[in-house]
Structure 1
Amino acid sequence: MPIVLLLRHGRSTSNAAGTLAGRTLGIHLDDTGRSQAMAAGERLRGCRLDLAVSSPMERCQETLDLALDSAALDVPRLVDDQVTECDYGQWSGRELSELVNEPLWQQVQQTPSRVTFPDGESMQQMARRMVDAVTVTNARVAEEVTAKASSEAGEGVWMLVSHGDPIKAVLSHALGQSLDDFQRIVVDPASVSIVRWPARGDQVPPMVLAMNTTAGALTSRLGGQDPQLGGGLGSQG
């Protein structure tokens, strides 16, 4: 079973301004976000990655570039439209302090599975495309690792750089919980969550190894014991 590292982009100019960026173009990392992305890269040093996938939004591609450069990793890269931010429609670009007064806001917090944003997509659509995209790419990684026919290939490790709500939707699915519970999950800017994702044909569910981590070398978290996490990550037992 390959392992996917779910990296949220670093803090953006929209995050700092308190607005909902959505798919608005021209949203970049601010200075804090750039530092966060480089720090995430430092955590990746020594890791073996088979593939790195990014949302097409600028803030995600910038995070990926800075992280891989900081980690000194030369990894095949792919931009996938299917792992982009949720389409918030008319909510995009608006201040969060205004949106909390919208009647739809409470539904987003309590029953997101029933929410469709005005002129945008539904949370269910976002969750389905994210899970489908992870499944497809994970199968690709599994096939490539198998084709290497090498004991050094391991089980395959790849990284996905995306956004808060999409990553929360993937984690919610991996945990086997309803999308209506996904607001219980916190995914901070530049945090890394780790999921062992079944390849096609594996008769096992995904296994969440870590969530919302922002410190510590990822080599230990992928291959052995980490006292900050507890438990061993190198075994499926």
Structure 2
Amino acid sequence: EVDFGDWTGDRFEALHARPEWRAFNRFRSTAPIPGGETMLAAQARAVGAVLRLRAAHPDAELAVVSHADVIKAVLAHFLAAPLDLFSRIEIAPASRSVVVLYDETAAIAGVNLPA
């Protein structure tokens, strides 16, 4: 989950009127969330968790469950894609995305697959 700070509990209709919300959606890598964390911080935290899980279970196939923004951020990291482009990744509710982690690299084996 991303810490949405002052925006927690707000309706999307109300957020769309705010310039800082529009900036956040255009520039995820740099636009801050008032009272919350940056998407870069959320991405680093999520990727770190995935890498720790892999280190703890190197031969296992793991399922990691999260919300769409966190999944997009993790996929962007392993694609070496700029975080500002992560809105181009579609993640439907209850879909699956598959990342294969190797020692020095990763491969994206599927994105937004039916559950």
Q: TM class, shorter-chain normalised?
A: over 0.9
CA distance in 1, matches of 2:22, 2:7: 14
| 2:27 is the alignment partner of 1:127 | no
Cα shift readout 1:46-94 (whole Å, capped 9, x = no counterpart): xxxxxxxxxxxxxxxxxxxxxxxxxxxxxxxxxxxxxxx1000010111
Alignment of 1:97-108 (within 5 A): 97-108=13-24
Counterpart of 1:162 in structure 2 is 66
CA distance in 2, matches of 1:108, 1:213: 27
Which runs of at least 4 in structure 1 moved beyond 2 Å after TM superposition? none
Counterpart of 1:211 in structure 2 is 111
Amino acid at match of 1:177: A
Alignment of 1:82-97 (within 5 A): 85-97=1-13
Counterpart of 1:188 in structure 2 is 92
Amino acid at match of 1:120: G
CA distance in 1, matches of 2:17, 2:114: 31
Amino acid at match of 1:160: V
Cα shift readout 1:172-191 (whole Å, capped 9, x = no counterpart): 01111011111111111101
Amino acid at match of 2:88: R
| 2:76 is the alignment partner of 1:172 | yes
Aligned to 1:159, what secondary structure does the other structure show?
coil
Given that 2:96 and 2:111 are in contact with CA atoms closer than 8 Å, whether structure 1 keeps it comes out as yes
- How far residue 100 of structure 1 moved from its aligned partner, in angstroms, is 0.9
Counterpart of 1:109 in structure 2 is 25
Q: Alignment RMSD, CA only?
A: 1.1
CA distance in 2, matches of 1:98, 1:131: 31
Bigger CA radius of gyration: 1
Give the structure-2-normalised TM-score.
0.94
Aligned to 2:109, what secondary structure does the other structure show?
strand
Given that 2:24 and 2:33 are in contact with CA atoms closer than 8 Å, whether structure 1 keeps it comes out as no
Give the structure-1-normalised TM-score.
0.47
- How far residue 107 of structure 1 moved from its aligned partner, in angstroms, is 1.6
Aligned to 1:108, what secondary structure does the other structure show?
helix
Given that 2:4 and 2:33 are in contact with CA atoms closer than 8 Å, whether structure 1 keeps it comes out as yes
